Amino acid sequence: MKDYRPAPDLLQDRVILVTGAGSGIGRAVATAYAAHGATLVLLGPVLRELEATYDAIEQAGHPQPAIFEMDLAEAGPAEVHGMAASIGQHLGRLDGLVHNAALLPYLSRIDDYDPEDWERVLRINLTAPFLLTQACLPLLRQAPDASILFTTDKVGRRGRAYWGAYGVSKAGLDNLMQILADETEKDGRIRANAIDPGPVRSDLRIRIYPAQDPSTWAAPEDILGPYLFLMGPDSAGVTGRIWPPDGKMP
């Protein structure tokens, strides 16, 4: 994927919703999509971070994005359906959805895991992507070539000690993606895939691995190939896949 060279207009005139767009991978994905012609819907819980992404996109001369300040731990069906309706009303369409927002508060034994934290992690990492996807599916079905991407992690495919609710949520997210891909494959209008970006320099990883040198991890801007490929028309027909960090299709 490092050799992938997307066309400058790869995502021209597409409308794409990105969660966790205020920082890290989400911000990098959003700005890259805007640079390739897309109109972004930026979703996250911290308005000042979303505004920073908005300003970066606007100052670069890319299409003006929209902002939705939303705490996925608190948002229910009414809120996400209202957001989807607003996208339809003001932007007229939705061509892509990137589930990137995630919570990993700490590593812990199951013995010691706080039940409230468990519920919050599952709410943000798994339930919210389900609710957002369900709310956006009618809009996505109107697009000629829609793509839904989930950011995953290898601990979801092989459970590891201390990863708790985060590992469980990523396993569920992979399964949700595969179910969705299977349900939508026949009509060919919606593709669903997951991307495991590997170790990336982010606030989440720095907090979990404080003793490691962040400069040894990839920058968010260095792992965008799969996100561009799987969102654009070059990946037509590719669905139900989990893209690993080495960039080779399984």
What HEC string does 166-220 produce? HHHHHHHHHHHHHHHHHHHCCCCCEEEEEECCCCECCHHHHHHCCCCCHHHCECH
Please, what's the b/e burial string for 65-87 (b: 16 or more CB within 10 A of its CB; e: otherwise)?
Answer: bbbbebebbebeeebbbebbeeb
Smallest CA-to-CA distance from 43 within 2, 12, 14, 75 is with 75
Q: Which residue in 113, 166, 209, 227 is the catalytic one?
A: 166
Task: Tell me if residue 166 is catalytic.
Answer: yes
Q: Which pair of structure tokens corresponds to residue 103?
A: 């919570």
Q: Which pair of structure tokens corresponds to residue 186?
A: 């026949």
111 DSSP 8-state letter: G
Is residue 11 within 8 A of residue 230, CB to CB? The reply is no
Residues with active-site annotation: 166
